[in-house]
Structure 1
Amino acid sequence: MTAEAFAFDPANEIHARALRRLEIEQVAWFGTIGRDGYPHAVPIWFLWRDGRALIMSEPETAKVRNLRANDRVLLHLEAGADGEQLTVLRGTAAISPEPSRGWVERIGDAYAAKYDAWLQRLGLTTATMAERYSVVIEVTPHKLLAW
């Protein structure tokens, strides 16, 4: 049985703060379960869209291999400027059947707005990023751990 997606309540102060951070934070930690049963965590860029985190990934990464075997994940933001704003999403992730270049048509402008300075430093555009990071991971939260 698949768990339902977590419903954020914008009237709830903690939920509202978590949503703001998901929209503006540039780096999150993405945790999957490795083949050996141990957690595997990596920093990722992501875009928060329609209640999900979208992550572009190179296809041959450990996180992609792990997701093919186990869809349970964590998305964890840093503790915030004051060190006291914990935001962790527990949920499931799926590899989109659509390659990232198709996603770029829908999310490219928002992705570029969020990561343009970083892309420029790396000599990338959103389109060239999508060529290399051709897998899109869609993270659906089922539980929010935040304060």
Structure 2
Amino acid sequence: MAEPFVFDPANEVHARARRRLETEQVAWFGTNGRDGYPHAVPIWFLWRDGRALIMSEPETAKVRNLRADERVLLHLEAGHDGEQLTVLRGTAAISAEPASTWVERIGEAYTAKYDAWLQRLGLTTATMAERYSVLIEVTPHKLIAW
């Protein structure tokens, strides 16, 4: 298996990509479908310790696909000027931690990032985690960016 990708803070493209991963609220998450076709969905995510953390309902296609194939893409929009491509190619794993444990660990940061959206939906991070009880941990192995 490939080594996890490490951002070089002295590299302008790496630094910009990392800033976007820390602040962007929506990304496209791509998995390999069992039928051989790619499957991509918009997701909320939290960038933490060099990984993207995604909360998911347990019975989604992305979770089923990950159980069969760990290879994934995480793709940000092209930026305001259309010239800031950021794609991570990597692997993903479904956390064995129960939702209550990982909510304790990341809940404050998740709430800080998504509180306005959660409020519009009448949710809190804790109530969202009850429904989106699977935590997907994405480890990047390659950055495609400019």
TM bucket, shorter chain: over 0.9
Deviating more after overlay: 118-127 vs 101-110:
101-110
How many residue pairs were aligned?
146
Give the aligned partner of residue 75 of structure 1: 74
Give the aligned partner of residue 118 of structure 2: 119
Give the aligned partner of residue 141 of structure 1: 140
Summarize deviations over 1:74-100 as a string: whole Å, max 9, x none: 000000000100000000000000122
Q: Give the distance between the partners of 2:144 and 2:31, measured in 1 at CA.
A: 17
Aligned AA (1:142): H
* Equivalent residues in 2 for 1:98-109, closer than 5 Å: 98-109=97-108
Q: How far off is 1:102 after superposition?
A: 1.1
Gaps of 5+ in 2: none
Q: Percent identity?
A: 88
Q: Give the distance between the partners of 2:33 and 2:114, measured in 1 at CA.
A: 28
1:37 aligns with 2:26: no
Aligned AA (1:20): R
Counterpart of 1:98 in 2: which secondary structure?
Answer: coil
Give the aligned partner of residue 132 of structure 1: 131
Give the superposed CA RMSD. Answer: 0.5
Summarize deviations over 1:22-64 as a string: whole Å, max 9, x none: 0000000000000011100000000000000000000000000
Counterpart of 2:113 in 1: which secondary structure?
Answer: helix
Counterpart of 2:18 in 1: which secondary structure?
Answer: helix
Aligned AA (2:122): G
* Equivalent residues in 2 for 1:56-75, closer than 5 Å: 56-75=55-74
Q: Give the distance between the partners of 1:144 and 1:20, measured in 2 at CA.
A: 14
What's the TM-score, normalizing by structure 1?
0.98
Give the aligned partner of residue 47 of structure 2: 48
Give the aligned partner of residue 15 of structure 1: 14
Give the aligned partner of residue 97 of structure 1: 96
